[in-house]
């Protein structure tokens, strides 16, 4: 019999039985296995939940409940997964099985419940299972650090990570690696980069052994963010590609929102505004479609950051408000700093430094409160220095610059060193700005086009104000070209204004940027330009081939191309 016949027989028998029946439960489990093979997670979850209810023996009921919860989670029903595990928890007489149930339950609750409640659940279960199996306790503690980090409890993350490492020493293998990663993440947030690098770098090859969709995937998914923060963008991108590809390949849309949000942040740091916007908007869409809207706060503030760079005030402030509403519901206090930094950047983009300082000073307060020690995690301090400098508040700017320079030395962050040098150039006298600005440009290199263009803009301003107009034009033209290419319209206008101040009349923007596309059109353009057919693009984006075709037509029209052959170089040039 094919899958449809098996399903029909199993459900007819289930409707007929009056009580527990192992034979019917077994048939339902077979139906669920077939559904999982077809990636029908919802059907599999419902069949396994029914099989669990009909199971006469507690061990079988628990096993099938765990399977149902896993399928519900992959299908985007996080609350359903958590609920059925909670209902069956009393049946788990084996403390090791109970620990596995609680770990899966916490993985689901991370999407729908307050972060510190989930943290407490995992730590309590680790305490319970430690006498029986220290390895399981270590894994529970490692996963708990994800919730603690989202709640901005950095000291607690480090403390919990250290405990996980202690428990894992006698175990080794994947458990030891997960514990080390959890501790490393906490140390990065605390600004203890040398210790974190000593943990992370030897583990890179072993990370390839972790299943992104398995029970350890929750820790793996956070690791690309850590590599991004310490400046290893190549490793971060390689890991994200693997995680995203695994989720797309398994049609596990529920597993994509968080890694896509991290990918968006990575793209933004690389100055690729269009791919950043595409990843973040897809993350938000999939989070809503899979019942994880509360988890999308990080993606929403990343969308807002792109909008801040583009000067889209109404859209940016609306997304920040939405991100804060969702994060406060889940107790994800880390989003508060991101949100304030985005609003500060928006005001700076719109040349309103006084309004920018109010938001960026809030970042300073939150940074002290949470113990955030790495300036790369939320990039705000250089913005505050620039806002102070534009307002003539040199003393306040010097105070913040001293902290930024100290953080740059302590962490060895190349980005922090670059923006600190730019800030030093902003505050130097007319005879002293060239050297620090030149150092900043050298440190930016080609890795950070937006930051490099900002430094060129600042250098051009300084040169113009010190009456070196010809030299000012050189760097201002470069800044303008970059801002135009990235679609950062208000920054391009600032560069044009400075050029006009040198006596030059710059040309208007070139138009037909990728940022002229809608989010869905942008996602389609990027996937198709990567070589995907309409069917492949639809499968990757969880939309129909017909929808791909429709959006592709709009893409061609807006970008002025007529075929895929013309689209590929156009996207490459604009992305």
Give tens-digit pLDDT for 483-506.
998 889 999 999 999 999 999 988
Write down the pLDDT at residue 436. 98
The token pair at 152 is 């901005």
CA–CA distance, 417 with 439 (Å, rounded to integer): 9
Closest alpha carbon to 557 in 526, 532, 525:
525
How wide is the angle at C-alpha 368 spanned by C-alphas 366 and 369, nearest 5°?
60
| Run of H or E residues at 231 | none
Binned at pLDDT 50, 70 and 90, residue 196 comes out as very high
Using DSSP's 3-state secondary structure scheme, residue 36 falls into helix
Second CATH level (architecture) for the domain 514-574: Orthogonal Bundle (1.10)
Write down the pLDDT at residue 570. 84
Binned at pLDDT 50, 70 and 90, residue 301 comes out as very high
Binned at pLDDT 50, 70 and 90, residue 19 comes out as confident
Running DSSP on this structure, what letter comes out for residue 62? H
How many whole angstroms from its chain centre is CA 207? 18
The pTM for the full model equals 0.86
Q: What is the mean pLDDT of residues 335-348?
A: 97
Q: Where are the domains of the chain?
A: 1-89, 94-202, 514-574
CA–CA distance, 47 with 43 (Å, rounded to integer): 6
Binned at pLDDT 50, 70 and 90, residue 8 comes out as confident
Residue 62's contacts (CB-CB under 8 Å, 6 or more residues apart) are 52, 88, 91, 92, 97, 101
Query: Is the domain covering 94-202 a CATH 1.25.40.10 domain?
Result: yes
DSSP result, 298-331: HHHHHHHHHHHHHT-HHHHHHHHHHHHHHHHHHT
Give tens-digit pLDDT for 45-56.
999 999 999 999
Q: 497: number of CA atoms within 13 Å, CB side?
A: 11
How many whole angstroms from its chain centre is CA 215? 19
Write down the pLDDT at residue 91. 94
397 pLDDT higher than 70: yes
Give tens-digit pLDDT for 68-91.
999 998 887 889 999 999 999 999
A 10 A CB-CB count for 573 gives: 9
123 pLDDT higher than 50: yes
- Please enumerate, as own/partner, the contacts of 437-444 that have beta carbons within 8 Å and a separation of 24 or more: 437/462, 443/414, 443/415, 443/417, 443/418, 444/418
Give tens-digit pLDDT for 233-272.
999 999 999 999 988 988 888 889 889 999 999 999 998 8
Radius of gyration of the chain, Cα coordinates, nearest whole angstrom: 26
393 pLDDT higher than 90: yes
**128-132, 253-257, 340-344 — which is least confidently predicted?**
253-257
């Amino acid at each position: 019999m094919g899958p449809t016949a098996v399903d029909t027989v199993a459900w007819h028998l289930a409707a007929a039985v009056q009580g527990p029946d192992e034979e019917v439960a077994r048939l339902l489990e077979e139906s669920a296995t077939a559904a999982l093979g077809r990636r029908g997670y919802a059907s599999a979850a419902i069949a396994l939940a029914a099989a669990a209810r009909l199971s006469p023996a507690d061990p079988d009921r628990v096993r099938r409940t765990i399977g149902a919860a896993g399928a519900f989670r992959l299908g985007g029903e996080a609350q359903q997964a958590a609920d059925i595990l909670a209902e069956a928890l009393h049946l788990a007489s084996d403390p090791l099985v109970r620990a596995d149930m609680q770990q899966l339950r916490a993985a689901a609750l991370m999407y729908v419940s307050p972060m510190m409640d989930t943290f407490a659940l995992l730590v309590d279960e680790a305490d319970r299972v430690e006498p029986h199996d220290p390895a399981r306790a270590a894994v529970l503690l490692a996963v708990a650090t994800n919730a603690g980090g989202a709640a901005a409890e950095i000291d607690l993350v480090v403390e919990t990570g250290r405990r996980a490492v202690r428990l894992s020493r006698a175990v080794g293998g994947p458990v030891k690696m997960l514990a080390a990663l959890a501790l490393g993440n906490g140390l990065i947030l605390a600004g203890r980069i040398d210790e974190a690098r000593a943990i992370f770098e030897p583990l890179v090859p072993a990370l390839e052994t972790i299943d992104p969709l398995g029970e350890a995937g929750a820790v793996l998914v956070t690791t690309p963010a850590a590599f991004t923060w310490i400046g290893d963008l190549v490793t971060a991108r390689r890991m994200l590609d693997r995680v995203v590809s695994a989720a797309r390949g398994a049609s596990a849309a529920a597993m994509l929102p968080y890694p896509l949000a991290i990918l968006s942040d990575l793209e933004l740091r690389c100055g690729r505004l269009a791919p950043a916007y595409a990843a973040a908007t897809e993350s938000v869409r999939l989070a809503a479609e899979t019942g994880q809207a509360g988890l999308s706060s990080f993606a929403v503030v990343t969308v807002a950051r792109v909008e801040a760079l583009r000067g889209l005030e109404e859209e940016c402030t609306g997304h920040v408000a939405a991100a804060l509403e969702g994060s406060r519901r889940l107790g994800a206090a880390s989003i508060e700093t991101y949100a304030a930094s985005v609003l500060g950047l928006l005001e700076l983009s719109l040349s309103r430094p006084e309004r920018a300082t109010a938001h960026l000073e809030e970042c300073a307060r939150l940074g002290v409160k949470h113990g955030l020690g790495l300036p790369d995690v939320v990039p705000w301090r250089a913005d505050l220095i620039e806002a102070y400098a534009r307002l003539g508040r040199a003393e306040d700017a010097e105070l913040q610059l001293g902290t930024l320079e100290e953080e740059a030395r302590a962490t060895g962050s190349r980005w922090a060193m670059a923006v600190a040098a730019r800030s030093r150039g902003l505050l130097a006298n007319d005879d002293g700005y060239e050297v620090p600005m030149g150092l900043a440009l050298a440190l930016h290199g080609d890795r950070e086009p937006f930051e490099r263009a900002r430094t060129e803009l600042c250098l051009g301003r300084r040169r113009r104000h010190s009456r070196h107009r010809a030299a000012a034009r050189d760097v201002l033209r470069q800044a303008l070209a970059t801002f135009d290419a990235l679609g950062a319209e208000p920054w391009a206008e600032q560069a044009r204004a400075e050029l006009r101040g040198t006596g030059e009349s710059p040309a208007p923007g070139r138009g037909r940027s990728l940022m002229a596309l809608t989010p869905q059109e942008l996602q389609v353009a990027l996937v198709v330009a990567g070589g995907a057919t309409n069917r492949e693009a639809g499968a990757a984006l969880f939309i129909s081939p017909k929808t791909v075709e429709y959006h592709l037509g709009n893409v061609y029209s807006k970008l002025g191309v007529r075929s895929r052959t013309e689209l590929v170089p156009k996207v490459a040039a604009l992305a």
